[in-house]
Structure 1
């Protein structure tokens, strides 16, 4: 490929602690990082910009409009077109096509190669390529006019497929919003639209069914700190899925965590307990325990003191307004350092229906969620099929298996 390029090179990152290198209050040279590139076909703006001093500190090249940006590290092989003059960081390789190659054709060829790039990559913590390996990638080079025809055909046909994929992705987002709204209404307003209502006296709750009790969480739970032991599974708490029902392997976790060999440092939990990560509660890092196990010593374990469904409390606390309330009670200088301690958690007020009604609400949520999940699964299957069709079409056309010269 290097023989089809008028220029190729990666960038760098100027000292982030030197304010003179970064343009904040005045226009500067756009600086492309992986976050500006990911999931985009074109780069029209960047989160950060550099001053002339910043450019000079790393000897960065400012690449012109029309340059292709190729990710060598994260999102390996993702390619986007630069629509502004910009510099890049060291994870991105700029590819400036020569007059011998159609830019759009080269972009589609790189899309074709993307699934095959891992065999060329070096790997330590993540797969990566370097400029030499990218420059040596093989490219089929039809006549320039045919390249333009291929590029135009693929832009047109892939555009249709991408539009269909976008529709399915939009449907999934709408279904997720519908599920969230359905759950929030059920756990804060109940299932009977004709039920008499009352002012809860709690700002985040607003009006609630008149027969529901408004109580502090501390009236429903007590904090426990029993030590873990033996072969009990270490359970994980996810901001998306709550508490696991088994000890997860590293590749099953949302993020990497280090575990202690001394299991007595963990906290024992029982079915019905509510546990939460102090640092992530305000993001949804909590849930109802369903199996006997233990959790991190950094978690708070709350044990019921009355007869109710802990899973109902979990569904309530996962609503957007409840999450905002937990953030309000969390302590810390910045979001990154926010912690929700037991003394603050226990004073949060909720509205609790009778236990039988809790069961009815749980059954309703399960039924409605199952319907939404079925629709989301179908949409995801459609997306997968269209993505497969997309990849197959690009491969067939850029390699000449499908002749589009007369289309």
Structure 2
């Protein structure tokens, strides 16, 4: 990529030099402070700023923050919608709206002046977020937010209008290409995960020998199983324990790191594996009050309530002290191979039973009694169970390695996308034909 022939100081160390022909100013001088007015019609489309940009909300019951959208600010086509908070969490700050509608008054909605291209500014803000993390580093408060005055003070670079147009055209083409590559790899990952699920389901219900004699399981939606296998219930193969029925806890029992032990929640189960990036700690006092639900190697945790109902994972050999929160139950004290049950809990047989047993309204629930009575099928001998486990460990690792490889490629593409936008909108590389 080429560089501009002449640069000047931006007056900000974190920004560095900018092309000599570009104007360095502030947001307040790039926008027309006009007010579109407030919504007065219940039929007005309701907009939301999503990771895919400004979209029309199709389900007004999901994430609804008010009983009525009367009074929300109006958005016109071409307006920039900017979120002034949560900069540490949101992957997208703004978008140029393609739709007319109304949106929460928490957003900042603006129109650019004649010499400022709305799509250029949108790319520019994205560049600031991912080049110097400006919005997080220069924001205020627990939620990393800006008020209107602080928003107006955000530095703004304005190239000549013709250059803005060329930059937008270049970035539109490049980001579209990158996004297509990312989508292709995401589809490949989904296919690999489907392959993994299909493999597990086949092996834990039919075994490894394709020529084995089969018998009717006696359950229509299970079908045939190997002749020497057993049909049983989960409660006959392990003990199932939940926090409800033992000592519960309140928010007052939660402590800081170093003052207690990890209490697992559904968010600690990611793609069927234990993930401790997000940690909540329970006091040692409450932890030792319930020794029955202290987690041990090869225990299985299963989500019995909430939006993640049905997820499960197994506790590895090297793990910190842990217990569970009330959304989980523990499977422990097995009289079979625990890891076989770990794989079986991912099968369609358990999936069907989970869905059939869900009750509750806004918070889905499957009772501990229902989990205990899950129908399972398994080989009679621990030896055959272990053979299946070793086979699945090997084959799923091959698939998981491929998934990780594709995910690394996606991460690199996203990093390149971020870097490209940042370098172009701050003038570090030149994509225009004019000097």
Please report the TM-score for the alignment, with normalisation by the length of structure 1: 0.80
Pairs within 5 Å for 1:236-251:
236=264, 238-240=268-270, 251=277
- Which position in structure 2 is the counterpart of 1:374? 401
1:145 aligns with 2:162: yes
Select which of 373, 378, 392 maps to 1:352: 378
- Which position in structure 1 is the counterpart of 2:310? 284
Where 2:174 maps in the other structure, the secondary structure is helix
Select which of 392, 396, 401 maps to 2:423: 396
- Which position in structure 2 is the counterpart of 1:83? 98
1:38 aligns with 2:27: no
Structure possessing the higher relative contact order (Cα contacts under 8 Å, 6 or more residues apart): 2
- Which position in structure 1 is the counterpart of 2:81? 69
Residues 381/264 of structure 1: CA separation in 2 closer, same or farther (3 Å cut): closer
1:164 aligns with 2:181: yes
Give the whole-Å Cα distance in 2 for the aligned partners of 1:356 and 1:281. 37
- Which position in structure 1 is the counterpart of 2:60? 48
Give the whole-Å Cα distance in 1 for the aligned partners of 2:372 and 2:333. 12
Gaps of 5+ in 2: 1-26, 248-258
Cα deviation for residue 63 of structure 1 reads 1.4
Where 1:127 maps in the other structure, the secondary structure is coil
Select which of 221, 227, 230 maps to 2:238: 221
C-alpha contact 1:213 1:352 (8 A) present in aligned 2? yes
Cα deviation for residue 274 of structure 1 reads 4.2
Give the whole-Å Cα distance in 1 for the aligned partners of 2:349 and 2:405. 30
For 1:76-113, what per-residue CA distance to the aligned partner results, in whole angstroms no more than 9, with x for missing partners?
65222211112211442222222221122111111111
Give the whole-Å Cα distance in 1 for the aligned partners of 2:307 and 2:32. 52
Where 1:164 maps in the other structure, the secondary structure is helix
Give the whole-Å Cα distance in 2 for the aligned partners of 1:180 and 1:215. 22
Where 1:400 maps in the other structure, the secondary structure is coil
Give the whole-Å Cα distance in 2 for the aligned partners of 1:404 and 1:83. 26
RMSD: 3.5
Select which of 307, 332, 357 maps to 1:329: 357
- Which position in structure 2 is the counterpart of 1:263? 287
1:134 aligns with 2:151: yes
C-alpha contact 1:66 1:96 (8 A) present in aligned 2? yes
Where 1:252 maps in the other structure, the secondary structure is coil
Give the whole-Å Cα distance in 1 for the aligned partners of 2:288 and 2:337. 29
C-alpha contact 2:34 2:110 (8 A) present in aligned 1? yes
C-alpha contact 1:239 1:283 (8 A) present in aligned 2? no
Select which of 323, 343, 363 maps to 2:390: 363
For 1:3-52, what per-residue CA distance to the aligned partner results, in whole angstroms no more than 9, with x for missing partners?
2212467999x9xxxxxx995xxxx11223xxx422113525553399xx
For 1:88-142, what per-residue CA distance to the aligned partner results, in whole angstroms no more than 9, with x for missing partners?
1144222222222112211111111123211121231x32222222222111111
Give the whole-Å Cα distance in 1 for the aligned partners of 2:153 and 2:372. 62
For 1:316-360, what per-residue CA distance to the aligned partner results, in whole angstroms no more than 9, with x for missing partners?
112244133024234x4325141322x322222111113222112
Gaps of 5+ in 1: 15-20
Residues 324/127 of structure 1: CA separation in 2 closer, same or farther (3 Å cut): farther
C-alpha contact 2:50 2:92 (8 A) present in aligned 1? no
Report the structure, 1 or 2, having the larger helix content: 1
- Which position in structure 2 is the counterpart of 1:209? 226
1:189 aligns with 2:213: no
Give the whole-Å Cα distance in 2 for the aligned partners of 1:311 and 1:367. 13
Give the whole-Å Cα distance in 2 for the aligned partners of 1:224 and 1:402. 60
Please report the TM-score for the alignment, with normalisation by the length of structure 2: 0.75
Give the whole-Å Cα distance in 2 for the aligned partners of 1:81 and 1:93. 12
Give the whole-Å Cα distance in 2 for the aligned partners of 1:135 and 1:119. 16
Cα deviation for residue 170 of structure 1 reads 1.8
Give the whole-Å Cα distance in 1 for the aligned partners of 2:178 and 2:100. 30
Give the whole-Å Cα distance in 2 for the aligned partners of 1:397 and 1:232. 48
C-alpha contact 2:51 2:91 (8 A) present in aligned 1? no
1:383 aligns with 2:401: no
Give the whole-Å Cα distance in 1 for the aligned partners of 2:307 and 2:117. 51
- Which position in structure 2 is the counterpart of 1:17? none
Give the whole-Å Cα distance in 1 for the aligned partners of 2:322 and 2:296. 8
Where 2:157 maps in the other structure, the secondary structure is coil
Where 2:363 maps in the other structure, the secondary structure is helix
Give the whole-Å Cα distance in 1 for the aligned partners of 2:229 and 2:282. 42
For 1:150-202, what per-residue CA distance to the aligned partner results, in whole angstroms no more than 9, with x for missing partners?
11111112221221122222222222222122112111222222222222122
Cα deviation for residue 239 of structure 1 reads 3.8
Give the whole-Å Cα distance in 2 for the aligned partners of 1:172 and 1:333. 33
Residues 174/164 of structure 1: CA separation in 2 closer, same or farther (3 Å cut): same
1:120 aligns with 2:121: no
